[in-house]
Amino acid sequence: MLNDKNTLIALRNDMNEALAAVAEKYGVKIDVGGARYDTMGLSCSYKLEVEANQTEDGTEAARAKFECYASLFGLSAEDYHNTFDYYGVEYRLVDLNLKARKKPLIVENMSNGKHYTLDAASYKKMKEIKKIMETKAA
């Protein structure tokens, strides 16, 4: 019974829905992740991830993480949620992947909400181009 993929997915979705009220109560993000199960289908386990939405001083957790580690990639705290144009598509900088060596920046496509990775050098070039375009327009 617990070794059927569709059953495990449905169970995970139900657990995420049930934990939504708990997450709201404590101001955290709760996600039930991937499942592991035994071959007989008698037991399974899920990875449960809990992440704070805010720091103790009320700052958004994602912003606090970005501000803490931005300097490692030659960025400033002001770069958080900065928008830029890349081949005619508008993106914004939303997160850092500290484990990625080549493309540590996570950017969001503003038109469809999808996330992509980008290297710091490309981001800095796009930022400079945006600055030049703004000065020419003024």
Report the alpha-carbon distance of residue 63 to residue 100 in Å, rounded: 19
Q: Residues 63-91: pLDDT tens digits?
A: 888 899 999 999 999 999 999 888 889 99
- The SS3 assignment for 5 reads helix
Domain total in the chain: 2
Whether residue 70 is found in the same domain as residue 120: yes
CA 112 distance to own-chain centroid: 15
72 shares its domain with 122 = yes
Q: 79 near 71, Cβ under 8 Å?
A: no
Same domain, 34 and 68: no
102 and 73 assigned to the same domain:
yes
Per-residue pLDDT of the chain (138 residues; tens, 9 = 90+): 677 788 888 888 999 999 999 988 888 888 888 888 887 777 888 888 887 777 676 667 788 888 999 999 999 999 999 998 888 899 999 999 999 989 999 999 999 999 999 999 999 988 888 888 888 876
Output Rg (C-alpha) for the chain, integer angstroms: 20
pLDDT at 129: 84
This prediction has a pTM of 0.64
Q: What are the Cα distances from residue 107, in Å, to 63, 99, 104, 124?
A: 14, 16, 10, 13
- The whole-angstrom separation of Cα 79 and Cα 106 is 12
Structural domain that includes position 133: 61-137
